[in-house]
Amino acid sequence: MINILNYINGEFQPALGGSWLPNHEPATGAVYSQLPDSQAADVEAAIAAAEQAFPEWSTLPAAERGAIMERVANLLESRLEEFARAESRDQGKPVALARRMDIPRAVDNFRFFATAVKHWSSEAHVTDQSAINYTLRQPLGVVGCISPWNLPLYLFTWKIAPALAAGNTLVAKPSEITPMTAFLFSELCREAGMPPGVLNIVHGLGASIGNTLNVHPTVKAISFTGGTLTGATIARQAAPLFKKLSLELGGKNPTLIFADADYELALSTAVRSAFTNQGEICLCGSRIFVERSIYERFRDDFVARVAALKVGDPEDESSDLGAIASEQHFNKVMGYIQLAQEEGGRILTGGTAVKSEGRCAGGWFIRPTVIEGLANSCRTNQEEIFGPVVTLQPFDTEEEALAMANDTQYGLAAGVWTSNLSRTHRLGAQLKFGIVWVNCWLLRDLRTPFGGHKASGVGREGGWEALRFFTEPTNVCVKI
């Protein structure tokens, strides 16, 4: 049994109250480690440590902060295989995916912001001949970073890297469902020489930690990635204290496939965008709209490709999909498959749990599932399932496709497949989503604004947007 520990003021420690939470391996369903069941006192200790560390860290030259962060990135890269295996075991994703995507991206996140901060500058505004205004951007102080279970280290580092680079000190809270790689990461930070108290990692349940972190007057900002309902709770708690809030929330992303698209590329990418990471990526395309003239051909080819995907042990290099991250989430996804049938949907492939033998007999596996015959307005097409379940719907005109795509409370990401350049720009402007991918998916440039419209979030991460979020601007107006 591995004991995951809090990392507070440079020290590893269990929860002050001494309680633990079980941590499961999704592929087997078995408990393989435990994490601290932290409470208010642990969060208070982490905030105090961060507050104490702030004056020194915030005044360290940006290049020195960046150098420490680059050392962290190098250490992580040198232990990539170990972290990929740990992520796969903790989350359920195929180890090949963690090796190819999650851990390299975590390395990139740290490298990107370690160097970005050295190139950052603030604005100056000359007012006619009479005054010069310059914008001072100073770190906020102690900030809270809260991350989800689907891309554990990838999203954890995506938040903490800009916060650290900008000179803040942190209380970070990884998901209680996938705490392992954040714990291993804290060891790297210590080894890289990050001063005690700069990054504090507190493990435990959302509300146990959030009820202190969200309302603590010392915490100046909360950067949160997770579900829309949790985001609303955090906003309700934090707003009266006027904390800065960055909320990256849920999605129900459309993929629009026009008859003039590169058929093979659209088909293979639609499969990938639907089922990568068991469909547990906020950017996965789960509502696939296909122009009617190619609908039947596309449906049959799509179903054949999906049926051929291998669901199995995440340790098996040939598995395309691994296990669902938790038993609770497994039950939620299976519940939606049931609902889809009650709503009149036809299951074209999948729709059942996978029963394995041997090591994975107790694991939480679901076959990739494709459903057709549902109206866009039904719950299956409106609520976020966040698993290996997609629906297919035909459309006749671009206007109809656009209307159905936008007909959702969410607005995170949309995909468009077409060779019509004018259509590309028309839809780019009219799709109410924070990201519109044209003839591609998950092609990420870390400098671009990342975030959602509507119920998918408030604020943007990435590039300068993230560094702006983690600083407070002061306009200094000097009369000439």
Active site residues: 248, 282
Give the residue, chosen from 457, 459, 462, 463, that forms a contact with ligand NAD under the rule CB under 6 A: 457
Give the per-residue SS3 of 308-332. Answer: CCCECCCCCCCCCECCCCCHHHHHH
Give the residue, chosen from 249, 267, 370, 405, that forms a contact with ligand NAD under the rule CB under 6 A: 249
Q: Name residue 405's amino acid.
A: A
Q: Minimum distance from CB of 230 to ligand NAD (Å)?
A: 3
Q: Which of these segments, 11-19, 33-41, 220-228, 298-306, binds ligand NAD (CB under 6 A)?
A: 220-228
Q: Is 452 in the site for ligand NAD (CB under 6 A)?
A: yes
Choose between 210 and 463: whose C-beta lies nearer to ligand NAD: 210
- Report yes or no: 208 and 218 within 8 Å, Cβ to Cβ: no
Q: Minimum distance from CB of 384 to ligand NAD (Å)?
A: 5
State the DSSP code for 355: P
Give the residue, chosen from 10, 17, 104, 227, that forms a contact with ligand NAD under the rule CB under 6 A: 227
Q: Minimum distance from CB of 450 to ligand NAD (Å)?
A: 7
Choose between 177 and 294: whose C-beta lies nearer to ligand NAD: 177
Strand arrangement of the beta sheet that strand 124-127 belongs to: 124-127, 131-139, 471-479
Residues 109-148, interacting with ligand NAD (CB under 6 A): 146-148
Place of tokens 């109410």: 432
Give the residue, chosen from 175, 212, 223, 278, that forms a contact with ligand NAD under the rule CB under 6 A: 175
Strands 453-454 and 410-411, bridge-based pairing: antiparallel
Angle at 117 between CA 52 and CA 131, to 5 degrees: 95
Choose between 97 and 290: whose C-beta lies nearer to ligand NAD: 97
Contacts of 173 (CB under 8 A, 6+ apart): 144, 145, 146, 147, 201, 202, 203, 204, 206, 209, 210, 213
Coil/strand/helix, residue 131 = strand
Give the residue, chosen from 34, 186, 200, 214, that forms a contact with ligand NAD under the rule CB under 6 A: 214
Cα–Cα distance for residue pair 27/239, rounded to 1 Å: 39
Q: Minimum distance from CB of 87 to ligand NAD (Å)?
A: 15
Choose between 227 and 394: whose C-beta lies nearer to ligand NAD: 227
Q: Is 384 in the site for ligand NAD (CB under 6 A)?
A: yes
For the record, the structure tokens of 5 come out as 């520990």
Q: Is 251 in the site for ligand NAD (CB under 6 A)?
A: yes
- Report yes or no: 180 and 193 within 8 Å, Cβ to Cβ: no
- Report yes or no: 452 and 249 within 8 Å, Cβ to Cβ: yes
Nearest in space to 371 (alpha carbons), one of 393, 399, 342? 393
Q: Is 87 in the site for ligand NAD (CB under 6 A)?
A: no
Q: Is 210 in the site for ligand NAD (CB under 6 A)?
A: yes
For the record, the structure tokens of 227 come out as 């579900």
Coil/strand/helix, residue 147 = coil
Q: Which of these segments, 13-21, 30-38, 225-233, 255-263, binds ligand NAD (CB under 6 A)?
A: 225-233
Binding-residue pattern over the window 269 to 288 for ligand NAD, x denoting contact by CB under 6 A: -------------x------
Q: Is 412 in the site for ligand NAD (CB under 6 A)?
A: yes
For the record, the structure tokens of 103 come out as 């851990």
Tell the burial category of 277 from Cβ atoms under 10 Å away from its Cβ (0-12, 13-18, 19+). Answer: buried
Give the residue, chosen from 230, 255, 286, 369, that forms a contact with ligand NAD under the rule CB under 6 A: 230
Q: Minimum distance from CB of 5 to ligand NAD (Å)?
A: 17
- Report yes or no: 282 and 324 within 8 Å, Cβ to Cβ: no
Choose between 188 and 284: whose C-beta lies nearer to ligand NAD: 284
Q: Minimum distance from CB of 154 to ligand NAD (Å)?
A: 9
Cα–Cα distance for residue pair 60/25, rounded to 1 Å: 40
Q: Is 226 in the site for ligand NAD (CB under 6 A)?
A: yes
Q: Minimum distance from CB of 272 to ligand NAD (Å)?
A: 17
- Report yes or no: 181 and 155 within 8 Å, Cβ to Cβ: no
For ligand NAD, how many residues bind (rule: CB under 6 A)?
Answer: 30
Q: Minimum distance from CB of 263 to ligand NAD (Å)?
A: 29
Q: Minimum distance from CB of 176 to ligand NAD (Å)?
A: 5
Nearest in space to 282 (alpha carbons), one of 328, 228, 336? 228
Sign of CA dihedral 44, 48, 189, 144: positive
Q: Is 250 in the site for ligand NAD (CB under 6 A)?
A: yes
Choose between 44 and 70: whose C-beta lies nearer to ligand NAD: 44
Where on the chain is the footprint of ligand NAD (CB under 6 A)?
A: 146-150, 155, 173, 175-176, 206-207, 210, 214, 225-227, 230, 233-234, 248-251, 282, 384, 386, 412, 452, 456-457
